[in-house]
Amino acid sequence: MCGIVGYVGKRDCAGVLISALSKLEYRGYDSAGIAVFENGIVKTEKSKGRLADLSAKMKKEGTPQGTVGIGHTRWATHGEPSDTNSHPHRGGDHVTVVHNGIIENYKEIKSELIAQGRSFVSETDTEVVAQLLDSNYKGDPLAAIAKTLSQVRGSFALGILFHDIPDTVYAVRRESPLIVGVGEGESFIASDVPAILKYTRQYYLLEHDEIAVLDQNGVKFFTLDAQPVSKELLTADWDMDAAEKQGYEHFMLKEIHEQPEAIKKTVIPRIENGLPSLSECGITHENIKDFRNIYIVACGTAMHAGMVGKYVIEKIARVPVIVDIASEFRYRDPLIGKGDLIIIISQSGETADSLAAMRLAKERGAKTLAVVNAKGSSIAREADMLIYTHAGPEIAVASTKAYMVQIAVMYLFAFELALAKGQIDEAECRRLTSLLLEMPERIDTILARKDELKAISQTLLDAESLLYIGRGLDSALSMEGSLKLKEISYIHSESYAAGELKHGTISLIHEGMPVIAVDTQKALHEKTVSNIKECKARGAKTIVVCGDSYQPESDVADFCFRLPETDDLLMPMPAVVPLQLIAYYTAVLRGNDVDKPRNLAKSVTVE
Ligand code: AGP
């Protein structure tokens, strides 16, 4: 996620901005910049890289001198990490802006502004909103902000300097968080509390479509129709570590709750007129419709996302998909070659085995598509085609929101491929795409029921081993549920295709052994229930995650978590959330270091 800061007061503004931005580094970023009023002129310094790189650049080229300005750390969404794409962005002669979030209709607005004769230097949606603000500015900043917000769609927070109103910072938000800090004779804007804790613990929460005006006389708040707003002054009682978790006990829990927003940021910019549009990723119907085989190669959770991709791509695009663990793929002299596609899925974009697998596939003549979260990472840089996920930085070692947006990308790609191959028509593609867009809201309803899952976790604490079972997409999901539990609770578990149990593994079932059954695929429901009954009849304690049209009888489920139903194809997205939360609460209840589990690293950059 990007980070916004702003300062009005008597201190050296550049120093305050850099210090405040350093407290937002946990959000992850790939470039940074500041804009400061220096003798009434807005001076902007920005660069790709870390804050240290920006500071070094300013030390060499001169640091803007002043006591009022704005700053930004960028987590690239539109446009690669680069000096030009870094914030702050200038709009015409009157405006400089920093932005966190997504302007969904930036392409349409950009076209209109270009038609009006405006030119752009960056690929960002932020520059579009800066230019729009400038075009709306006729001397009244509140009116210009209100007009602009009536024209843009999306979730965003903006810090704004109007060049002819020196020593004043304006801020406005819609969904993306923004706070306004107040100290002795000074005030701040920031994306998050940690940025201001060094200077003050007192702050206001800016509400949706509210404007803040910070000047040397203090802070005022207005509605979009310029009505003054009085607000409650809050006091941050968090320490720095808690503040970075925004009040959640662990980064993992925070990231599980960020999944709806992550899906929006990943999916919405890739949909045009109700259909997937991956052209910005180098993907067109023409260049994907003729692949002979598709290989999906990754590690761990990313490979599990590939398993979901396999089922979805084969089901609707009717192209053979081979999913492989990267460390196996690269040493089994794979049959991949010209005419094949390899999809490498990786949150970090630096996993050694996955990078090596991609290079091997490229040597064999295959086309490469990377699905990566970390901007500018090795895998991202070397792929022929690239779909960034926009989950923001994933701090917890156990991957949750990255997995969620990886499967969201699998759906987008599968829908695009199926349409390109004529396996589905536009109407069906629109239907599936609209179901995908419903996911954030569905997941929010499940997150609201997290206490039910905490109660289920209580029953697992003393288990020596568990089974996760399912069929079809539920089998792919049970793989991810099992890994989540193992890696943070340290309880052994195994995922097993439900139909395969009777061929040996069912001998493991003993009295009280927990079996978590994922039963969301209506087409396979009867078979899955039979398998659950087989386990229960042998003494298993059964926990069933199923659709809400099914109420398991007592001889099927000891515990049950029922999900709002959608098309079978899309059920993995809501269904994985209870599995993530069961793993999380089990680990918490066992007193484990949830965010940094023993023996694990966030990115495995060695073989
Ligand atoms: C999953 O919770 C783990 N963090 C691990 O399996 C991870 O998914 C795997 O190491 C792949 O990492 P990558 O996505 O960064 O390539």
- Whole-number Å distance between alpha carbons of 69 and 12: 10
- Cα–chain center distance at 323: 23
Closest-CA residue, ligand 1 atom 7, reads: 300
Q: Are 517 and 543 in contact (CB under 8 A)?
A: yes
Q: Give yes or no for residue 111 having a pLDDT over 90.
A: yes
Cα angle, residue 468 at apex, residues 532 and 373 outer, rounded to 5°? 140
Q: Are 92 and 135 in contact (CB under 8 A)?
A: yes
Reduced to 3 states (helix: H, G, I; strand: E, B; else coil), residue 426 is helix
Q: Give yes or no for residue 606 having a pLDDT over 70.
A: no
Q: Measured from the CA of 600, which atom of ligand 1 is nearest?
A: 4
Helix residue ranges per DSSP H, 448-590: 450-458, 473-489, 525-537, 572-589
Q: Measured from the CA of 487, which atom of ligand 1 is nearest?
A: 2
- Whole-number Å distance between alpha carbons of 86 and 30: 9
- Whole-number Å distance between alpha carbons of 187 and 214: 7
- Whole-number Å distance between alpha carbons of 289 and 548: 37
**What are the residues facing 42 on neighbouring strands?**
37
- Whole-number Å distance between alpha carbons of 471 and 469: 7
pLDDT tens per residue, range 51-97: 999 999 999 999 999 999 999 998 877 777 888 889 999 999 999 99
Closest-CA residue, ligand 1 atom 8, reads: 301
Q: Measured from the CA of 304, which atom of ligand 1 is nearest?
A: 8
Alpha carbon of 301 to ligand 1 centroid (Å): 5
Q: What is the pLDDT of residue 607?
A: 66
Q: Lowest-pLDDT range, 4-8, 146-150, 387-391?
A: 387-391
First-residue to last-residue Cα distance in the chain: 30
406 Cβ inside 6 Å of ligand 1: no
67 Cβ inside 6 Å of ligand 1: no
Closest-CA residue, ligand 1 atom 5, reads: 300
Using omega within 30 degrees of 0 as the cis cutoff, is the peptide bond preceding 81 cis?
Answer: no
Residue among 255, 259, 297, 301 to mutate when testing ligand 1 (max atoms within 8 A of CB): 301
Q: What is the pLDDT of residue 270?
A: 95
Q: Are 266 and 389 in contact (CB under 8 A)?
A: yes
| Half-sphere exposure at residue 348, Cβ-oriented, CA atoms within 13 angstroms | 21
380 Cβ inside 6 Å of ligand 1: no
Q: Give yes or no for residue 117 having a pLDDT over 80.
A: yes
299 Cβ inside 6 Å of ligand 1: yes
Those residues whose C-beta lies under 8 Å from the C-beta of residue 331, and which sit 6 or more positions away, are none
Q: Give yes or no for residue 101 having a pLDDT over 90.
A: no
Query: 163-166, long-range: CB within 8 Å, 24+ apart, which pairs?
Result: 163/41, 163/42, 163/93, 163/94, 163/95, 163/96, 164/94, 164/139, 165/141, 166/37, 166/40, 166/68
pLDDT tens per residue, range 224-261: 999 999 999 988 866 666 667 878 999 999 999 999 99
Q: What is the pLDDT of residue 80?
A: 77
- Whole-number Å distance between alpha carbons of 389 and 84: 21
Q: What is the pLDDT of residue 346?
A: 97
604 Cβ inside 6 Å of ligand 1: yes
Backbone angles phi, psi at 183, to 5 degrees: -125, -160
- Whole-number Å distance between alpha carbons of 193 and 213: 19
Q: What is the pLDDT of residue 155?
A: 82
344 Cβ inside 6 Å of ligand 1: no
Whether 602 is a known active-site residue: answer yes
Alpha carbon of 130 to ligand 1 centroid (Å): 37
Mean pLDDT of 434-446: 97
- Whole-number Å distance between alpha carbons of 513 and 500: 18
Reduced to 3 states (helix: H, G, I; strand: E, B; else coil), residue 190 is strand
22 Cβ inside 6 Å of ligand 1: no
Residue among 604, 605, 607 to mutate when testing ligand 1 (max atoms within 8 A of CB): 604
Residues for the chain: how many in total? 607
346 Cβ inside 6 Å of ligand 1: yes
The DSSP letter of residue 87 is S
- Whole-number Å distance between alpha carbons of 440 and 202: 32
Mean pLDDT of 451-469: 96
- Whole-number Å distance between alpha carbons of 482 and 467: 8
The per-residue pLDDT of the chain, averaged, comes to 94
Sheet holding 89-91, edge to edge: 89-91, 95-103, 154-162, 169-174, 210-215, 218-222
pLDDT tens per residue, range 374-418: 876 789 989 999 999 999 878 899 999 999 999 999 999 999 999
* Two tokens, residue 573: 């997205």
pLDDT tens per residue, range 531-589: 999 999 999 999 999 999 999 998 899 999 999 999 999 999 999 999 999 999 999 99
Q: Measured from the CA of 397, which atom of ligand 1 is nearest?
A: 4
Whether 2 is a known active-site residue: answer yes
pLDDT tens per residue, range 503-535: 999 999 999 999 999 999 999 999 999 999 999
* Two tokens, residue 373: 């979260």
Q: What percent of the chain is modeled with pLDDT above 90?
A: 85
Residue of 207, 238, 240 lying closest to 222 (CA atoms): 207
Residue of 573, 230, 196, 221 lying closest to 405 (CA atoms): 573
Q: What is the pLDDT of residue 83?
A: 87
Strands 210-215 and 465-470: unpaired
Helix residue ranges per DSSP H, 72-201: 106-115, 125-136, 141-151
Q: What is the pLDDT of residue 194?
A: 83
Q: What is the pLDDT of residue 555?
A: 86
- Whole-number Å distance between alpha carbons of 337 and 472: 28
297 Cβ inside 6 Å of ligand 1: no
Reduced to 3 states (helix: H, G, I; strand: E, B; else coil), residue 260 is helix
Alpha carbon of 297 to ligand 1 centroid (Å): 12
Residue 118, amino acid = R
- Whole-number Å distance between alpha carbons of 211 and 159: 10
Q: Give yes or no for residue 458 having a pLDDT over 70.
A: yes
The single residue of 2, 281, 429, 560 carrying the catalytic annotation is 2
pTM for the model: 0.72
pLDDT tens per residue, range 163-212: 999 989 999 999 788 999 999 999 999 998 889 999 999 999 999 899 99
- Whole-number Å distance between alpha carbons of 407 and 301: 11
pLDDT band (50, 70, 90) for residue 28: confident
Q: Lowest-pLDDT range, 24-33, 111-120, 464-473, 515-524?
A: 24-33
- Whole-number Å distance between alpha carbons of 131 and 425: 38
302 Cβ inside 6 Å of ligand 1: yes
Q: What is the pLDDT of residue 240?
A: 64
Those residues whose C-beta lies under 8 Å from the C-beta of residue 422, and which sit 6 or more positions away, are none
Please report the beta strands in 284-405, taking only residues with DSSP state E, as ranges in sequence order.
294-298, 321-325, 341-346, 367-372, 385-388
